[in-house]
């Protein structure tokens, strides 16, 4: 039998209009709210029933943020922000095994140091800027497990909405990979493995030595990307067209190569592969249901739709970028010859194409994250509907 883990991490989020949102967003403080619960402790109550694993008696060390224990003024500011925000309100619980928690979480200061150190990386992994987030947390102690309640929300939209071209708030889903990584990093920090001085020093020295032996991968990436962009640029149809247009049939493989190449970093590719795995698993279940019902499953399958949507939406970003370069024109003296203007125009366009590749990379990355989030949402909804249908949980 395997040993129980030292650290568990669970998360929930509450959108505007959801049944439990008022409790977590301090809409009715007369009946008590989540901030008060984090600050004072007490019985879990109906909105905290998913925390049963944490034990029965909840005693809090007091709510805190990056600056220390919350003052009454700061609590009022956070409540005002919670009431006003259109952001999702997240709730994350970090629970420790009994002996491990007593050893590592002696006071709220231990919990504060842990959250302030690891939360920025956790948010970054979910494409949420730390500086655009308000958070508070509290260490709860009881007879079974010490645990940290952590809640946060965005102060402004930071995700890009492809439909409106404006910023939007995040969907709320936190990737499973980021939660697993968060859990591992917490235990590493508490055990001091990664953060002991001599290990950090040795790692830095090893990294510097490795840089001397290995090529600059960033430079290689930039060079390869520029070559791919130039290949597509040269084949671009003269009349503007979208990814699925027949005019793009010949150039579409080149556009797809750019989309794929921009996804070759470890985090993006692992997220893509994991999502494809889950979607294909869901498709197999759907096929079995359709087979029993004698229904064509094609319209219900998600993996092919996900792949198509991803490459179409990212591809349109790339195509728009290429056409922007194509439309650039320089300013010339009146005596300049037409061929001279054409030559210098082309030189300027290629310069623009190369110099702004980083901006394109970010736009495609944002689009990719949005597609991932949308299909994670579809999976979560499908799983929720299944559990409701089976009577495992109640419908909200």
pLDDT one-digit tens code per residue, 50-102: 343 334 456 778 899 999 999 999 999 999 999 999 999 999 999 999 888 88
Instruction: Look up the pTM and report it.
Output: 0.49
Computed over every residue of the chain, the mean pLDDT equals 81
Give 267-278 pLDDT, tens digit per residue: 888 888 888 888
pLDDT at position 51:
40
For the chain, what's the residue count? 396
Instruction: Kindly list the domain boundaries of the chain, sorted by start residue.
Output: 7-202, 217-389
In this structure, of 134-143, 191-200, 236-245, 376-385, the range with the lowest mean pLDDT score is 191-200
Q: How far apart are CA 158 and CA 167, in angstroms?
A: 6
Task: List, for residues 146-187, the tens digit of each pLDDT value.
Answer: 999 999 999 999 887 777 778 899 988 898 888 988 998 898
């Amino acid at each position: 039998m395997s040993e129980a883990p030292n650290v568990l991490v669970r998360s929930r989020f509450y959108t505007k209009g959801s049944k439990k949102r008022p409790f977590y967003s301090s809409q009715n403080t007369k009946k008590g709210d989540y901030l008060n619960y984090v600050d004072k402790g007490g019985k879990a109550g109906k909105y905290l029933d998913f925390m049963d694993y944490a034990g029965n008696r909840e005693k809090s060390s007091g709510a805190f943020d990056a600056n220390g224990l919350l003052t009454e003024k700061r609590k009022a500011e956070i409540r005002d922000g919670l009431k006003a925000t259109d952001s999702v309100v997240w709730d994350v619980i970090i629970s420790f095994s009994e002996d491990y928690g007593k050893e590592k979480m002696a006071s709220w200061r231990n919990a504060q140091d842990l959250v302030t150190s690891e939360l920025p990386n956790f948010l970054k992994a979910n494409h949420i800027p730390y500086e655009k987030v308000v958070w508070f947390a509290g260490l709860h102690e009881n007879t079974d497990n010490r645990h940290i309640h952590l809640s946060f929300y965005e102060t402004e939209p930071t995700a890009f909405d492809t439909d409106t071209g404006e910023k939007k708030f995040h969907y709320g889903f936190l990737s499973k990979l980021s939660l697993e990584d968060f859990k591992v990093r917490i235990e590493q920090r508490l055990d001091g493995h990664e953060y002991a001085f001599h290990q950090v020093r040795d790692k830095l020295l090893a990294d510097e030595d490795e840089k001397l032996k290995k090529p600059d991968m960033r430079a290689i990436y930039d060079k390869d990307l520029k070559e791919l962009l130039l290949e597509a640029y040269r084949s671009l149809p003269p009349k503007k067209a979208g990814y699925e247009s027949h005019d793009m049939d010949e150039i579409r493989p080149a556009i797809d190569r750019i989309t794929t190449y921009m996804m070759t970093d470890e985090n993006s590719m692992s997220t893509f592969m994991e999502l494809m795995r889950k979607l294909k698993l869901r498709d197999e279940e759907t096929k079995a249901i359709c087979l029993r019902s004698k229904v064509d499953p094609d319209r219900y399958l998600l993996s092919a739709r996900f792949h198509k949507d991803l490459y179409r939406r990212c591809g349109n970003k790339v195509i728009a970028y290429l056409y922007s370069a194509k439309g650039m024109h320089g300013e010339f003296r009146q005596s300049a010859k037409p061929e001279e203007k054409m030559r210098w125009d082309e030189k300027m366009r290629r310069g623009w194409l190369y110099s702004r590749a980083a901006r394109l990379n970010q736009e495609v990355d944002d689009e990719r994250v949005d597609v991932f989030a949308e299909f994670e949402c579809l999976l979560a909804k499908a799983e929720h509907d299944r559990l409701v249908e089976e009577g495992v949980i109640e419908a909200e």
